[in-house]
Amino acid sequence: MTYFATVEELRIAAKRRVPKMFYEYVDAGSWTESTYRANSDDFARLHFRQRVAVDFSVRNLSTTMAGTPVTMPVALAPTGLTGMQHADGEILAARAAERFGVPFTLSTMSICSIEDVAGATTRPFWFQLYMMRDRGFIASLIRRAEAAGCSALVLTLDLQIQGQRHKDRKNGLSAPPKLTPRNIVNMMSRPRWCAGMLGTPRRTFGNIVGHAPGVTGIASMADWATDQFDATLTWKDVEWVRRLWKGKLIVKGILDPEDALMAARCGADALIVSNHGGRQLDGALSTICALPHIADAVRGEIEVHMDGGIRSGQDVLKALACGASAVYIGRAFLYGLGAQGEAGVTRCLEIIRSELDLTMALCGITDVRGVDCRVLTSGGHSLEPPTAAQAQTERLAAVQAA
């Protein structure tokens, strides 16, 4: 079996093995993709403060996320069409996360259903919910997640309207893929992917087809989805979900401090600083730039998580230093899934854990729960609280303007 040393190597392998429309669904952003690129690029502008002569012989990466014990502060993010990167992809990713001891979050727009994943795992997973016009269907999804034993609900707020994703439109993205001459040729060049898909009945949106009123197949699914984006969504709807859902509630899609405070006031247990992986508002701040302002604004009032651009354990440590208590990986684990299935997801997690552990040691940190802004440096000095977040974002702005 091929040995992968980095997440980038997993990405290259996934590009060779996954059909173009599904690979580019993952590896692309909206409009000019400037925010998509910034999510990763802005991590590179942050620098660590190396320390020496520190006893780091015993180190701890374990902590909690929204009350859930985790072996490291990383969860698998909710990603649509995961089961199109590899047959039964959500089940495989959930199993890998379960064995590794980190949360798996199932998307509303998954290929494998809530019940499929619940039947294949033994520990509670998390479920991500989109607010749609059909509130009755949303209530039924919440009940299904509760019945499946999901321990947290991740409510995504930044998809009231879909960003302009040029590559998806050009590729004619659909699940299952339309059998056009171009798609057939491309899929024939990915024989292992095709063999896997032929061996599973799960090839469309398992949480919706057969569950949403009138949605019985791909044609009716397309019409239904077009009508379900909800421009009327407000914080009152978040409060409604909070009343229905008795477990942990995590609100995803926060980029503004005022919205972060609103999430706390609505009773959310945690928020995710997220720009939807650069797939919604192109030109929005990268999440690592937005993160310090949000962490400063809430000041412990609500647990702060983040996603976007994380491709290594070093990125995880930088996010923790900028104010997050935990992070989510989406593209990184999807590259592993596309490259090697379940083993690839496990390898992705192993890479990130090893890189996080080693970087902590070189920074003189022995417990991930003690990471703060002093892990980072600006011109030879640590970033001391309470102005660390402000200094860090000002530094990022200066570098970007140069």
Q: Is 83 annotated as a binding residue?
A: no
What is the sign of the dihedral through the CA atoms of 308, 35, 355 and 365? Answer: negative
Q: Is 280 annotated as a binding residue?
A: no
Q: 114: which 2 tokens?
A: 């809530």
Q: For residue 216, how many other CB atoms are within 10 A of its CB?
A: 10
Q: Is 95 annotated as a binding residue?
A: no
Q: Is 25 annotated as a binding residue?
A: yes
Place of tokens 């490291």: 72
Q: Is 352 annotated as a binding residue?
A: no
Q: 189: which 2 tokens?
A: 């060049």
Instruction: Output the CA–CA distances (angstroms, integers) from residue 272 to 86, 98, 99, 154, 260, in the order listed.
Output: 27, 21, 24, 9, 9
Q: Is 252 annotated as a binding residue?
A: yes
Smallest CA-to-CA distance from 56 within 393, 276, 362, 398 is with 362
Q: Is 114 annotated as a binding residue?
A: no
Smallest CA-to-CA distance from 201 within 116, 125, 96 is with 116
Q: Is 325 annotated as a binding residue?
A: no
Say if CB 218 and CB 210 are below 8 A apart.
no
Smallest CA-to-CA distance from 158 within 76, 245, 50, 253 is with 253
C-alpha–C-alpha distance, residues 80 and 97, integer Å: 17
The torsion angle over the Cα atoms of residues 291, 295, 296 and 299, rounded to 10 degrees, is 180
Catalytic site includes residue 276:
yes
Q: Is 123 annotated as a binding residue?
A: no
Instruction: Judge residue 122's burial from the number of C-beta atoms within 10 Å of its C-beta, 0-12 exposed, 13-18 middle, 19 or more buried.
Output: exposed
Q: Is 128 annotated as a binding residue?
A: yes
Q: Is 184 annotated as a binding residue?
A: no
Cα angle for residues 207, 194, 170 (degrees, 5° grid): 70
Cis peptide before 201 (omega within 30 of 0): no
Choosing from 47, 86, 166, 276, the catalytic residue is 276
Q: Is 374 annotated as a binding residue?
A: no
3-state SS class at 158: coil
Q: Is 307 annotated as a binding residue?
A: yes
Q: Is 308 annotated as a binding residue?
A: yes
Q: Is 162 annotated as a binding residue?
A: no
What are the residue ranges of helices labelled H in 341-387? 342-362
Q: Is 165 annotated as a binding residue?
A: yes
Q: Is 309 annotated as a binding residue?
A: yes
Q: Is 335 annotated as a binding residue?
A: no
Give the annotated binding-site residues: 25, 78-80, 107, 128, 130, 156, 165, 252, 274, 276, 279, 307-311, 330-331
Give the annotated binding-site residues for glyoxylate: 25, 165, 276, 279
Residues with a known catalytic role: 276
Give the annotated binding-site residues for FMN: 78-80, 107, 128, 130, 156, 252, 274, 307-311, 330-331
